[in-house]
Amino acid sequence: MSGSGGGDGRHGCSRTPSRWARQCFGKDAARLTDAVPERLTRAHLRARAGFKAAGLGRPGAAYGHTLADAVREELAEAARELGGLVRTLRGRDYAMINDHVLFPFKYDSRPVPVDRARMKDPSDVRRRLYGAHGPGEQDTIFPVDGYATEEYDRLHEAFEELGRTAKLVSVLFTCDPEYGVHAIHWGEARLEIDGTFAWTYREELPVTPA
Protein backbone atom coordinates (compact mmCIF):
# COMPACT_ATOMS: atom_id res chain seq x y z
CA MET A 1 0.00 0.00 0.00
CA SER A 2 1.44 3.35 -0.93
CA GLY A 3 0.49 6.92 -1.57
CA SER A 4 -1.28 9.46 0.61
CA GLY A 5 -4.77 10.77 0.99
CA GLY A 6 -7.82 11.21 3.13
CA GLY A 7 -10.63 8.80 3.71
CA ASP A 8 -12.33 9.85 0.47
CA GLY A 9 -9.29 9.00 -1.67
CA ARG A 10 -7.92 12.54 -1.79
CA HIS A 11 -5.11 14.09 0.23
CA GLY A 12 -7.07 15.90 2.91
CA CYS A 13 -9.08 15.63 6.08
CA SER A 14 -12.05 13.36 6.64
CA ARG A 15 -13.72 11.91 9.71
CA THR A 16 -14.69 8.88 7.64
CA PRO A 17 -12.02 6.19 8.18
CA SER A 18 -10.02 5.34 5.10
CA ARG A 19 -9.58 1.86 3.71
CA TRP A 20 -6.08 1.85 5.19
CA ALA A 21 -7.43 2.74 8.66
CA ARG A 22 -10.04 -0.01 8.44
CA GLN A 23 -7.40 -2.53 7.44
CA CYS A 24 -5.17 -1.49 10.36
CA PHE A 25 -7.70 -0.98 13.14
CA GLY A 26 -10.71 -3.01 12.04
CA LYS A 27 -13.95 -2.21 13.82
CA ASP A 28 -12.24 0.53 15.85
CA ALA A 29 -11.11 2.54 12.81
CA ALA A 30 -13.89 5.13 12.90
CA ARG A 31 -13.66 5.76 16.63
CA LEU A 32 -9.87 5.95 16.55
CA THR A 33 -9.94 8.36 13.61
CA ASP A 34 -12.01 10.66 15.82
CA ALA A 35 -10.10 9.93 19.02
CA VAL A 36 -6.57 10.74 17.84
CA PRO A 37 -7.23 14.44 17.05
CA GLU A 38 -9.32 14.84 20.20
CA ARG A 39 -6.65 13.27 22.37
CA LEU A 40 -3.86 15.41 20.90
CA THR A 41 -5.86 18.54 21.67
CA ARG A 42 -6.47 17.32 25.22
CA ALA A 43 -2.75 16.73 25.62
CA HIS A 44 -2.00 20.26 24.40
CA LEU A 45 -4.48 21.76 26.88
CA ARG A 46 -2.94 19.75 29.72
CA ALA A 47 0.57 20.87 28.81
CA ARG A 48 -0.47 24.50 28.49
CA ALA A 49 -2.31 24.43 31.81
CA GLY A 50 0.77 22.91 33.42
CA PHE A 51 3.22 25.63 32.54
CA LYS A 52 0.68 28.36 33.33
CA ALA A 53 0.01 26.85 36.74
CA ALA A 54 3.74 26.80 37.37
CA GLY A 55 3.82 30.56 36.80
CA LEU A 56 6.34 30.35 33.97
CA GLY A 57 6.54 33.38 31.70
CA ARG A 58 7.42 31.29 28.68
CA PRO A 59 6.61 27.63 28.12
CA GLY A 60 10.00 26.58 26.76
CA ALA A 61 11.04 22.98 27.34
CA ALA A 62 8.49 22.56 30.16
CA TYR A 63 5.62 22.61 27.69
CA GLY A 64 7.34 20.24 25.26
CA HIS A 65 8.20 17.60 27.85
CA THR A 66 4.75 17.73 29.42
CA LEU A 67 3.12 17.54 25.99
CA ALA A 68 5.10 14.45 24.98
CA ASP A 69 4.06 12.59 28.15
CA ALA A 70 0.47 13.80 27.91
CA VAL A 71 0.11 12.67 24.30
CA ARG A 72 1.23 9.14 25.12
CA GLU A 73 -1.06 9.04 28.14
CA GLU A 74 -4.06 10.32 26.17
CA LEU A 75 -3.56 7.83 23.34
CA ALA A 76 -3.10 5.03 25.87
CA GLU A 77 -6.39 5.99 27.51
CA ALA A 78 -8.08 6.02 24.09
CA ALA A 79 -6.76 2.50 23.48
CA ARG A 80 -8.18 1.30 26.78
CA GLU A 81 -11.58 2.78 25.96
CA LEU A 82 -11.55 0.90 22.66
CA GLY A 83 -10.61 -2.35 24.34
CA GLY A 84 -7.07 -2.19 23.00
CA LEU A 85 -3.79 -2.67 24.83
CA VAL A 86 -1.18 -0.43 26.41
CA ARG A 87 2.41 -1.63 26.18
CA THR A 88 5.29 -0.17 28.18
CA LEU A 89 8.69 0.32 26.56
CA ARG A 90 11.48 1.74 28.70
CA GLY A 91 8.96 3.22 31.10
CA ARG A 92 6.77 4.83 28.43
CA ASP A 93 3.29 3.66 27.54
CA TYR A 94 2.19 3.19 23.93
CA ALA A 95 -1.31 2.56 22.64
CA MET A 96 -1.77 -0.71 20.75
CA ILE A 97 -4.93 -1.48 18.79
CA ASN A 98 -5.44 -4.54 16.60
CA ASP A 99 -1.69 -5.29 16.71
CA HIS A 100 -0.82 -1.74 15.55
CA VAL A 101 1.25 0.49 17.84
CA LEU A 102 0.72 4.26 17.75
CA PHE A 103 3.95 6.24 17.85
CA PRO A 104 3.23 9.98 18.37
CA PHE A 105 5.90 12.53 17.49
CA LYS A 106 5.76 16.34 17.44
CA TYR A 107 8.10 17.23 14.63
CA ASP A 108 7.89 21.03 14.90
CA SER A 109 6.39 23.89 16.86
CA ARG A 110 5.58 25.68 13.62
CA PRO A 111 2.99 24.64 11.02
CA VAL A 112 5.59 23.36 8.55
CA PRO A 113 4.80 20.70 5.92
CA VAL A 114 5.10 17.10 7.03
CA ASP A 115 7.59 16.34 4.28
CA ARG A 116 10.03 18.47 6.28
CA ALA A 117 9.57 16.38 9.41
CA ARG A 118 12.80 15.17 10.96
CA MET A 119 13.74 13.33 14.13
CA LYS A 120 17.01 14.66 15.45
CA ASP A 121 19.32 12.13 17.09
CA PRO A 122 16.75 9.32 17.49
CA SER A 123 17.32 7.07 20.48
CA ASP A 124 18.12 3.38 20.13
CA VAL A 125 14.56 2.57 21.21
CA ARG A 126 13.08 4.71 18.45
CA ARG A 127 15.48 3.37 15.84
CA ARG A 128 14.62 -0.18 16.85
CA LEU A 129 10.88 0.58 16.81
CA TYR A 130 11.14 1.68 13.21
CA GLY A 131 13.68 -0.94 12.23
CA ALA A 132 11.75 -3.90 13.64
CA HIS A 133 8.13 -2.76 13.51
CA GLY A 134 8.09 -0.16 10.74
CA PRO A 135 7.15 -0.94 7.13
CA GLY A 136 9.49 -2.76 4.77
CA GLU A 137 13.20 -3.22 4.87
CA GLN A 138 15.57 -0.38 5.71
CA ASP A 139 18.69 -1.70 4.05
CA THR A 140 19.46 1.80 2.72
CA ILE A 141 20.44 2.76 6.26
CA PHE A 142 23.40 0.38 6.14
CA PRO A 143 26.25 -0.19 3.68
CA VAL A 144 25.23 -2.92 1.27
CA ASP A 145 28.46 -4.79 0.62
CA GLY A 146 29.43 -7.30 3.28
CA TYR A 147 27.49 -5.63 6.08
CA ALA A 148 25.90 -8.04 8.56
CA THR A 149 26.70 -7.02 12.10
CA GLU A 150 25.18 -7.33 15.53
CA GLU A 151 24.09 -3.69 15.29
CA TYR A 152 21.95 -4.41 12.23
CA ASP A 153 20.41 -7.48 13.84
CA ARG A 154 19.72 -5.61 17.08
CA LEU A 155 17.88 -2.78 15.35
CA HIS A 156 15.69 -5.29 13.51
CA GLU A 157 14.86 -7.38 16.57
CA ALA A 158 11.20 -7.05 17.57
CA PHE A 159 10.36 -5.84 21.07
CA GLU A 160 9.03 -8.70 23.19
CA GLU A 161 6.65 -6.26 24.85
CA LEU A 162 4.97 -5.62 21.50
CA GLY A 163 5.29 -9.00 19.83
CA ARG A 164 6.90 -9.91 16.54
CA THR A 165 3.80 -9.19 14.46
CA ALA A 166 3.18 -5.68 15.83
CA LYS A 167 3.22 -2.91 13.23
CA LEU A 168 4.12 0.71 13.84
CA VAL A 169 1.77 3.56 12.94
CA SER A 170 3.42 6.97 12.98
CA VAL A 171 1.35 9.89 14.28
CA LEU A 172 3.23 13.07 13.37
CA PHE A 173 1.95 16.51 14.30
CA THR A 174 2.90 20.14 14.83
CA CYS A 175 1.81 22.09 17.88
CA ASP A 176 2.63 25.23 19.86
CA PRO A 177 1.55 26.50 23.29
CA GLU A 178 -0.49 29.44 21.99
CA TYR A 179 -2.39 27.99 19.05
CA GLY A 180 -2.36 24.30 19.86
CA VAL A 181 -2.25 21.55 17.24
CA HIS A 182 -1.81 22.76 13.66
CA ALA A 183 -1.81 19.53 11.66
CA ILE A 184 -1.86 15.76 12.20
CA HIS A 185 -0.60 13.06 9.84
CA TRP A 186 -0.63 9.33 10.42
CA GLY A 187 0.35 6.31 8.41
CA GLU A 188 3.26 3.98 7.76
CA ALA A 189 6.75 5.44 7.56
CA ARG A 190 10.37 4.39 7.58
CA LEU A 191 12.91 6.33 9.62
CA GLU A 192 15.86 7.18 7.40
CA ILE A 193 19.48 7.54 8.46
CA ASP A 194 19.23 11.34 8.41
CA GLY A 195 16.17 11.32 10.66
CA THR A 196 13.65 12.08 7.92
CA PHE A 197 10.56 9.96 7.26
CA ALA A 198 9.88 7.98 4.10
CA TRP A 199 6.15 7.32 3.99
CA THR A 200 4.76 4.21 2.38
CA TYR A 201 1.28 5.50 3.24
CA ARG A 202 0.15 8.76 4.82
CA GLU A 203 -3.08 10.63 5.39
CA GLU A 204 -4.05 13.80 7.22
CA LEU A 205 -6.49 13.90 10.10
CA PRO A 206 -8.67 16.90 10.96
CA VAL A 207 -7.62 18.96 13.96
CA THR A 208 -9.99 19.20 16.91
CA PRO A 209 -10.26 22.87 17.98
CA ALA A 210 -8.99 23.61 21.47
166-188, pLDDT tens digit by residue? 999 999 999 999 999 999 999 99
> Residue 75 in contact with residue 104, Cβ under 8 Å?
yes
Mean pLDDT of the chain: 87
Per-residue pLDDT, 151: 79
Residue 16 confidence class, pLDDT cut points 50, 70, 90? confident
Per-residue pLDDT, 150: 78
Nearest-CA neighbor of 126 among 195, 181, 43?
195
User: What is the Cα–Cα distance from 30 to 53, expressed in whole angstroms?
Assistant: 35
Nearest-CA neighbor of 75 among 31, 109, 115?
31
Per-residue pLDDT, 14: 45
User: What is the Cα–Cα distance from 30 to 36, expressed in whole angstroms?
Assistant: 10
Q: In the predicted model, is pLDDT for residue 2 greater than 70?
A: no
Sign of CA dihedral 161, 39, 66, 112: positive
Nearest-CA neighbor of 26 among 159, 134, 167, 131?
167
How many other CB atoms sit within 10 Å of the CB of residue 50? 18
Burial of 7 (0-12, 13-18, 19+ CB in 10 A): buried
Which pLDDT tens digit goes with each residue over 118-164?
Answer: 999 999 999 999 999 999 754 444 444 545 577 778 888 999 999 99
Which pLDDT tens digit goes with each residue over 46-75?
Answer: 999 877 665 555 656 678 889 999 999 999
Q: In the predicted model, is pLDDT for residue 19 greater than 50?
A: yes
Q: In the predicted model, is pLDDT for residue 96 greater than 80?
A: yes
